[in-house]
Structure 1
Amino acid sequence: MTVQTPGPAAEKVAGRTRTPSPPPGRHRKSQVSAGALPYLLLLPALAITAILLGWPLVKNVILSFQQLGMKELIQHLTVWNGVDNYTDVLGGEDFWRVTLRTMIFTAVNVALIMLFGTLIGLLLARLGRKMRLTLLMALVLAWAMPIIAATTVYQWLFAERYGVVNWVLDKLGWHSMADYSWTSSQFSTFFVITVMLVWTSIPFVAINLYAATTTIAKELYEAASLDGAGGWRTFSSVTLPFIKPFLFVTTFLEIIWIFKAFPHVYAINGGGPDRLTETLPVYAFVEGVGNQHYGMGAAISVLTILVLLGMTSYYIRMVLKQEREDS
């Protein structure tokens, strides 16, 4: 007795050709491979991040538990002193004074940056094409200027004898400002640093918020106009709900950017006068490199990271709470 294998005609049922289904094991294997593919693609980036960022951070934490001065550095000595560096830092008044100063400095700068950046971003949305392009080019140039070049320009602008700012104020009638030293006091030095930081940070906020306004449908503004809504009502009812996520993200990024700003503060006056304008990054650098207490500087930098994580985690909780309330 011979067994006949079904031919092509036997494979057709109701006019449809039956295709053989893959074995169950092979289907599950393809699903696992597809699920693991995104993680495999991320591995190179994660490996580079771990090498460039993770190892320096681990090395810094290790150094923070050592007594590392010029003697130990030259003789390649490893002297462990436990948590003495952290005890000395946290037990003194300087760290807490600088921390409070840094938080106030960050809050003032971020508030000014977000205020003026939002206003300029909304202005970009209302300008004509040529004026918008001109303003965008000016913002990009200000944003692209290297930090050290920007600090040099501001040092020239606020120079004591030949600065443009003093010359303009003298011509306007404030003759006492003709030879005023802007870096001789804590308030005036912070004023120069704040002006520079706001000037270099506004373009990022303005361009991002302008991009956010381009996603708003024009029909919404037309409907608001037909309902008789004024400028403020249109902004609060139509524009603000759309740009609110962008405001949260840019505020979060600006907090990190201003908090860790080092060259802006240090290049103007080295944290002076009398170390009254030191922020936490500058304080860590001066104690570690300037005073050659490298272990102490490493401990201060670790504490700086912890303070920044605490600030940003609180802000993230606020954002998540706002999103739950809006949804």
Structure 2
Amino acid sequence: MSAQIEEAAATGPAPRIGKGGAPPPRRGRGRGAGSVPYLLILPTVAAVVLLLGWTLVKNGLLSFQNLNKRQLIQRVTEWTGVDNYDTVLRSSEFWHVTGRSVVFTAANVVLIMAVGCLIGLLLARLGTKLRLLLSLGLVLAWAMPVVAATTVFQWLFDQRFGVVNYVLDALGWHSMAGYNWTSGQLSTFFVITVLIVWQSVPFVAINLYAATTTIPKELYEAASLDGAGTWKQFTSVTFPFLKPFFLATTFLEVIWVFKAFTQVFAINEGGPDRLTETLPVYAFQEGMGSQHFGMGAAISILTIVILLALTAYYLRLVLKQEEDEL
């Protein structure tokens, strides 16, 4: 008996066992651990509130005011309530621009996702050297500043000295030798669409390739043994596995294209005859161009509301997908 007591003293007290054989929870340890994640994200939240929240509040207050040159000079604040919103929502031009923005966004997103997915799948099938070369080109296109890329496309589609007109003329389309790409609505939108798709495809392609590396190769081997071809493997293996990626990326591209301002404004300032204005450009033209700052603020707030509606629709799709998986 004494030997057993000495052995127990040497080894220390026996571990306590909780319910089901699991070790009992340790008391006095981990207190306050639940607040650690909130403390970690606190600087980011503070920066977002400071840089974006206050600006949004000021813009919201401005949307309820009548502010133009006279009010700026006299430093007078004229509160008009919801008159700016009433004027905007009753304007047929606002709804025309909204419909145009939706169609423009949908066309760009479809092209971006289609081309980006094809290039992403191509990256997954290329060898190491070719994949590295193509990835480098995608990263360089993606990293180019928006203003610089827009300037390059202005040169490419220039009426007199543009490379595009020169190449088309050399290929036999002589009528395109001096073609003005910004003279019509469709041609201007074509240039803007090519620019936006060119800037957005690298993001989709690189992320899709990264996502394909997480798919177990055994799934493709099993599909190949069952006689599935390339398209069948994509529809039965790749797409179902990457469905969350497609939803998230499509949602991000919708937001990015819908709020695109620099490309649309720099190409032709929403022209000709304001026929290529989207909602961000329309808000700028009404606010800064026409000196109706309250009206421009109201349009920008309505643009945010539309984006919030798109966000709610996306979250509904995600939640529905999670419910279906359960």
Deviates more, 1:176-185 or 1:31-40: 31-40
Q: Which amino acid aligns with 1:121?
A: G
Whether the 8 Å CA contact 1:148–1:263 is kept in 2: the answer is yes
Distance 1:96 1:114 in 2: 27
Distance 1:90 1:32 in 2: 53
Distance 1:148 1:166 in 2: 22
What percent of counterpart residues are identical?
Answer: 66
Aligned-pair CA distance for 1:169 = 1.1
Q: Which amino acid aligns with 2:200?
A: S
Aligned-pair CA distance for 1:263 = 0.1
Task: Say if 1:99 and 1:28 are closer, same or farther in 2 by CA, change over 3 A.
Answer: farther
Aligned to 1:77, the other structure's residue is in SS state coil
Deviates more, 1:316-325 or 1:182-191: 316-325
Matched with 2:211 is: 212
Whether the 8 Å CA contact 1:12–1:18 is kept in 2: the answer is no
Whether the 8 Å CA contact 1:11–1:17 is kept in 2: the answer is no
Task: Say if 1:145 and 1:17 are closer, same or farther in 2 by CA, change over 3 A.
Answer: same
Aligned to 1:191, the other structure's residue is in SS state helix
Distance 1:79 1:257 in 2: 34
Whether the 8 Å CA contact 1:288–1:296 is kept in 2: the answer is yes
Matched with 2:20 is: none
Matched with 2:108 is: 109
Whether the 8 Å CA contact 1:66–1:81 is kept in 2: the answer is yes
Q: Deviations over 1:122-169 (max 9, x none)?
A: 000000001000000000010011111111111111111111111111
Distance 1:135 1:299 in 2: 44
RMSD of aligned alpha carbons: 2.1
Aligned-pair CA distance for 1:180 = 0.8
Distance 1:229 1:299 in 2: 54
Distance 2:144 2:191 in 1: 17
Distance 1:199 1:191 in 2: 12
Matched with 1:310 is: 309
Matched with 1:24 is: none
Distance 1:87 1:227 in 2: 62
Whether the 8 Å CA contact 1:212–1:242 is kept in 2: the answer is no
Task: Say if 1:162 and 1:35 are closer, same or farther in 2 by CA, change over 3 A.
Answer: same
Count of residue pairs brought into register by the alignment: 314
* 1:277-292 superposed matches below 5 A: 277-292=276-291
Matched with 1:199 is: 198
Aligned-pair CA distance for 1:72 = 1.4
TM-score (norm 2): 0.91
Q: Which amino acid aligns with 2:236?
A: S
Aligned to 1:66, the other structure's residue is in SS state coil
Aligned-pair CA distance for 1:16 = 4.8
Aligned-pair CA distance for 1:15 = 6.1
Distance 1:68 1:32 in 2: 53
Aligned-pair CA distance for 1:310 = 1.1
